[in-house]
């Protein structure tokens, strides 16, 4: 069955540290890839998405993600985190040409001021 | 432009009661979905719809019903509430042109407690 894995469940960083959150999926076909962010007490918001083309995708608030097809990965990065980046981050995969949309279990990021 | 509107924001039910969670979107999106979010389990799909009159089950549909009579509205009905349905429920919609899901817009959620 298709699945999305986020291996880091909790991450704690100091402000200005660099961030990389892992996301791997299991599906052999074409996929569309997404990262969402959920700030404390709020709903999920779309951070960035990849459909095709340049595998390095830039999103809002300085986040970027790189699609590595050979590794089935779509890792989220930010060069320098801020206290306001404290949130839960969800990776999601849409199987291209289908309605199927699979979320990972999320990574809680805490940034220490 | 309101986006996705969910009501109510909070609800407490007694075991066995029924209720309907409302969801409406004003973006003319084809896709609408209901998810529940539980600690450590991410988001799990309850039901989804790809257009008015078309609905299907997700991974955790038991105990829930949906209908989609219009493009805008996608209510979720709890038939007979159970404590296991205590959760945060999110409605989401997306544009689905050319067979792709272009990314969800989420509602603000309903926090449901069943006692």
Q: How confident is the model at residue A4 (pLDDT cuts 50, 70, 90)?
A: very high
Looking at residue A7, what is its pLDDT? 86
Looking at residue B15, what is its pLDDT? 98
Residues contacting B93, CB < 8 A, separation 6+? B4, B25, B27, B29, B31, B32, B33, B74, B104, B105
Using a CB–CB cutoff of 8 Å, tell me whether A108 touches chain B. Answer: no
Using a CB–CB cutoff of 8 Å, tell me whether B101 touches chain A. Answer: yes
For tokens 């409406």, the residue is: B24
Q: What SS3 class is residue A69?
A: helix
Q: What SS3 class is residue A60?
A: helix
Q: Would you state the structure tokens that stand for residue A104, as one six-digit string?
A: 């990972």
Looking at residue B99, what is its pLDDT? 67
- B-chain CB neighbours of A103 within 8 Å are 35, 42-43
Handedness of CA B99, A4, A92, B74 (dihedral sign): positive
Instruction: Report CB contact under 8 Å: A42, B43.
Output: no
Region of poorest pLDDT, from A68-77, A80-89, B68-77, B93-102: B93-102
A and B: number of Cβ contacts within 8 A:
49
Using a CB–CB cutoff of 8 Å, tell me whether B50 touches chain A. Answer: yes
Looking at residue A1, what is its pLDDT? 74
Which of B101, B102, B106 lies nearest to residue A44, judging by beta carbons? B106
Query: Would the pLDDT of A12 be above 80?
Result: yes
Mean pLDDT for the stretch of residues A42-51:
93
Using a CB–CB cutoff of 8 Å, tell me whether B40 touches chain A. Answer: yes
Looking at residue B102, what is its pLDDT? 83
Using a CB–CB cutoff of 8 Å, tell me whether A49 touches chain B. Answer: yes
Q: Would you state the structure tokens that stand for residue B101, as one six-digit string?
A: 């899901």
Instruction: Report CB contact under 8 Å: A46, B40.
Output: no
Dihedral angle of Cα B41, A2, B56, B54, to the nearest 10 degrees = 120
Distance spanning both ends of chain B, measured CA to CA: 36
The answer to whether B15 touches B78, Cβ cutoff 8 Å, is: no
pLDDT < 50 positions in chain B: none
């Amino acid at each position: 069955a298709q699945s999305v894995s986020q291996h880091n469940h909790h991450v704690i960083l100091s402000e200005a540290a660099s961030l990389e959150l892992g996301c791997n999926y299991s599906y052999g076909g074409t996929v569309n890839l997404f990262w969402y962010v959920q700030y404390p007490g709020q709903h999920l918001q779309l951070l960035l998405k990849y459909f095709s083309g340049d595998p390095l995708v830039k999103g809002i608030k300085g986040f970027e993600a790189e699609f590595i097809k050979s590794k089935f990965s779509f890792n989220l990065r930010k060069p320098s985190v801020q206290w306001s980046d404290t949130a839960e981050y969800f990776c999601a995969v849409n199987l291209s040409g289908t309605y199927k949309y699979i979320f990972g279990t999320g990574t809680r990021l805490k940034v220490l001021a | 432009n309101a986006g996705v509107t969910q009501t109510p924001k909070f609800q407490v039910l007694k075991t066995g009661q029924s209720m309907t969670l409302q969801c409406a979107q004003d973006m003319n999106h084809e896709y609408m979905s209901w998810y529940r979010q539980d600690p450590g389990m991410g988001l799990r799909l309850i039901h989804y719809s790809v257009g008015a009159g078309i609905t299907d089950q997700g991974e955790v549909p038991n105990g829930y019903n949906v209908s989609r009579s219009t493009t805008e509205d996608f209510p979720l009905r709890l038939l007979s509430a159970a404590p296991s349905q205590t959760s945060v429920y999110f409605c989401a919609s997306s544009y689905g042109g050319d067979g792709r899901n272009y990314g969800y817009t989420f509602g603000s959620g309903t926090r449901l407690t069943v006692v």
